[in-house]
Amino acid sequence: MEKTCPECGDKIIGREDKKFCSDACRNAWNNKINKDSNNYMRNVNNKLRRNYRILCELNVDGKTKTTRSRLDERGFDFNFFTNILQTKTGNTYFFVYEQGYMPLDNDFYILVKREF
């Protein structure tokens, strides 16, 4: 039985378990499958990426303090985070992946990095 490439339809030559005729077709297929399906999802992912980059830039040591104005001037959006951690002491940390922040008094924030 002759197998065909799901991307371009060409005949597949080579190993029996080969799925694509070339690396270019494999990459094109995977890029189509993994692309963000709509504008809303793409916008949310972009905001999460920006927030993550900002936290990484400001928190190089794994734990530091910063101000809200410093986060705001870099374009940080406080509405977008990936999870919330409630500690036993009642503190609430907001995380963008492993980079987290917690509001303190006087518009200060503590930035932390969660180790897994």
Q: What distance in Å separates the CA atoms of residue 107 and residue 65, rounded to the nearest whole number?
A: 11
Position 10 confidence tier, pLDDT thresholds 50, 70, 90: very high
Residue whose token pair is 């928190």 = 59
At a CB cut-off of 8 Å and minimum separation 6, what does 56 contact?
Answer: 99
Q: What distance in Å separates the CA atoms of residue 41 and residue 98, rounded to the nearest whole number?
A: 21
Please give the pLDDT value at position 73: 97
Domain positions in the chain: 1-35, 45-113
Please give the pLDDT value at position 36: 64
3-state secondary structure of 94: strand
Q: What distance in Å separates the CA atoms of residue 85 and residue 40, rounded to the nearest whole number?
A: 26
The pLDDT > 70 percentage for the chain reads 97
pLDDT tens-place string over residues 23-62: 999 999 988 887 766 788 889 999 999 999 999 999 999 9
Q: Specify the amino acid at residue 80.
A: F
Tally of CB atoms within 10 A around 66: 20
Q: Which of 50, 68, 64, 59 is nearest to 105 (CA)?
A: 68
Average pLDDT, the chain: 93
